[in-house]
Amino acid sequence: MSTSLRWIISDDTSSDIQYVQGDWFQDSSGSQDASGNYGPVFQGTLHGVRTGPASLVYKFTGSQVQVFGSNNIQNNSGILNPSWDCFVDGVSIGSMPYQFPENNWQFCRSPVLPDGNHVLTVNASVASPQTFWIDKIQYLPVAGSQSQLTNATVLVDNLDPMLKPAFGKGWVELGGGANMTTLSGSQFTLNFTGISLSWYGFIPKELPIASTTGSYSIDGGSPSSFLLKGLPTNAITVYNQKFFQTSTLSPGNHQIIVTYNGGGQTTPLTLDYLVIQNASVPATTPPPAGGQSNGGKSNIAAIAGGVVGGVVIIALAALGLLFIRRRYRSSAGRSDVKGGNVEGAGNSTTPRPYNYTPMPAHMRSDSGVDMYTSSSGRPEQTTTSMSEVRRKAHHTANPSVSTTNGTSTGLLGSSVANTAGHQPRPSQSQSDFLTSGGSSTGRGESLVNDESNTSSLGARGDPSSRNDKLRREAAAVAAQTQGRNQPRGPTSPPLTAESEQSMYIRHEDSGIRMPGVVEVPPEYTPS
């Protein structure tokens, strides 16, 4: 990911946001921090307005923009208070209201725009006792311009390729939307440029919730501890939790080492995203001290690669010729049947009956096809994304459903589009949590996606290949039960003078019953 794909954040206190209409005021008391389970407001501040029409203007140079605030809507017979609409260059991009109070809620998001200068306008209508709250605005800068920004606050997503080398032993992916570790002493090491770094994660209720601690050190200095407070019993998952923020650093390059002090029975350390002030992350990991350039090795590597590739091609060609030759011999042998002797199969005319393995009764379906069946109870749902690169889906609205005027409002209220950006999803059942994915495709994914766990929980098969899947499962069941349910093999029929010139073959009953099969007699070859 290039740095141009990292969101630039403007807090509500930024001078870049112009509150042009309405009686706006700033709130830094934390009055909304306890609303919902999406975490406290960003940087502890909000701008609000309680009466009359109100509007703000935000100018930016980039390709996309989104607005976040604290959502608290009153619905009076279908009339929402407050209500709002967003415009980019005078064209409406809609709004995303939600029926429950939540912080860090995405009010609107533009489509991808042409690179260049744009003007965002937000118009709101509000009446007492409700308040329209603005928290922050995020935009994607024009490619190549981020390095020229001063005092920029940059959001670095956990799946940013620049962070991949930072994860040490014990770190794994969590539901496709975050990273976590439960290994005591596990570390995260990152070189970055900026004057401060904030670490955001979430606390999943499905994992251990006992409190524990972690620590971080800057540029080899003394470690500073931070608390992973866990969750109360029967609590729901909480998101956008700022685990720590460094003190103000000198401008320039720094290294941070984060260490997890807990274990398998305590709250894991998770990483959702980093927020770096006046930031950039190096495009490549700096080489170790005393390291040498590998430019002189490029020719040797190219030659070695060519030799290996040639050997592989020759080997594949030889294997192909051998395979064709054996098929030809096998075909010729089967066509030469004389006096009951099959060429290439020996001179014995003794029948070799096949054995069969019956399928256990509990594995048979009503249709007569032996199979295991599996399905995913995970419903299709509207998802949101945490970064532009992958549209992460772990910030979906609370699944509670209410009905207004006979119409189900579903996840996001009556007129809600897909949300995006850093909007966490509410708590789910453990089965749902284990099958959350990068997008809402209905495919299940393992909760922990490391190399030692390659299984996929709750995966749905493609309907077009369902019959093949059933046959494969039936064969797998037969192989699994071989030996446990093995009957005595069929008895060979007695040989007569007439039968000495014939081959007897008893076909295997695989246990699979396919509908619509037409039985035909065998074809006989004159002896």
pLDDT in tens, 359-377: 444 444 444 433 333 333 3
Please tell me the predicted confidence (pLDDT) of residue 143.
81
Please tell me the predicted confidence (pLDDT) of residue 506.
59
d(CA 73, CA 358): 63
Tokens of 326: 């054996």
Cα 306 off chain centre by: 37
pTM (2 decimals)?
0.57
Domain annotation for the chain: domains and CATH numbers: 3-145 (2.60.120.260), 156-277 (2.60.120.260), 356-487 (no CATH)
Please tell me the predicted confidence (pLDDT) of residue 24.
98
For range 375-403, the mean pLDDT: 37
Please tell me the predicted confidence (pLDDT) of residue 68.
99
Question: How do strand 46-49 and strand 25-27 relate by DSSP bridges?
Answer: antiparallel
* Between 195 and 151, the higher pLDDT residue: 195
Residue 301 has pLDDT above 60, yes or no: no
Residue 152 has pLDDT above 60, yes or no: yes
For range 120-149, the mean pLDDT: 90
Asked if residues 221 and 270 have their Cβ atoms less than 8 Å apart, the reply is: no
pLDDT tens readout for residues 267-299 = 999 999 999 998 554 443 443 333 333 444 344
Residue 249: band (very low, low, confident or very high) from pLDDT cuts 50, 70, 90:
very high
Residue 320: band (very low, low, confident or very high) from pLDDT cuts 50, 70, 90:
confident
For range 258-272, the mean pLDDT: 98
Residue 453 has pLDDT above 80, yes or no: no
Residue 12 has pLDDT above 60, yes or no: yes
* Between 500 and 145, the higher pLDDT residue: 145
Write the CA distances from 108 to 23, 150, 418, 431, integer angstroms: 22, 26, 10, 31
d(CA 189, CA 341): 73
Please tell me the predicted confidence (pLDDT) of residue 284.
39
Tokens of 241: 């939790």
pLDDT tens readout for residues 53-70 = 999 999 999 999 999 999
Residue 262 has pLDDT above 50, yes or no: yes
